[in-house]
Amino acid sequence: MMAFLIRATEYAVVAIDMLALLVIVAATALAFGNGVRAMVTRASQHEMRLIWLHYARWLVAALTLQLAADIVETSIRTDWQSIGRLAVVAVIRTFLNYFLERDLGELREREAEA
């Protein structure tokens, strides 16, 4: 039974990481396309901020998915070195997520004032 749970967890981690990758690739392609279109049409600063805001929201979602995969993965790791390495990655991703959310909050405040 334990071997089944370990195998299922490994597949779950790969699936969650794949979802995060798909979100990042799709959001990046969309942001790139929208950015090029905005530059060609000489979009306003407001429109450029909306593109950034939309992209940042998708990146936050992808970071959350990656953190979820790390949390699931720690459930099958037995050595402290692996757990420590995953903990460091989780802390880095959490800080990135925090600062990205903070930037999004500032953009939202500016949008509300405008």
Note the pLDDT tens digit of each residue in 28-44.
999 999 999 999 998 88
Q: What pLDDT, on a 0 to 100 scale, did the predictor assign at position 76?
A: 84
**Do 12 and 72 contact (CB within 8 A), yes or no?**
yes
Instruction: Give the Cα separation of 54 and 94 in Å (integer).
Output: 20
Q: What pLDDT, on a 0 to 100 scale, did the predictor assign at position 23?
A: 97
Q: Is the pLDDT of residue 16 over 80?
A: yes
Note the pLDDT tens digit of each residue in 46-60.
888 889 888 988 988
Number of domains in the chain: 1
Give ∠ CA 3-8-11 in degrees, rounded to 5: 130
Q: What percent of the chain has pLDDT over 70?
A: 99
Ramachandran area for residue 43 (φ above 0: left; ψ -120 to 50: alpha; else beta): beta
More confident residue, 26 or 1: 26
Q: What pLDDT, on a 0 to 100 scale, did the predictor assign at position 60?
A: 84
Structure pTM?
Answer: 0.77
Domain boundaries, position 75: 2-113
Name residues whose C-beta falls within 8 Å of residue 35's C-beta, 6 or more positions apart in sequence. 48, 51
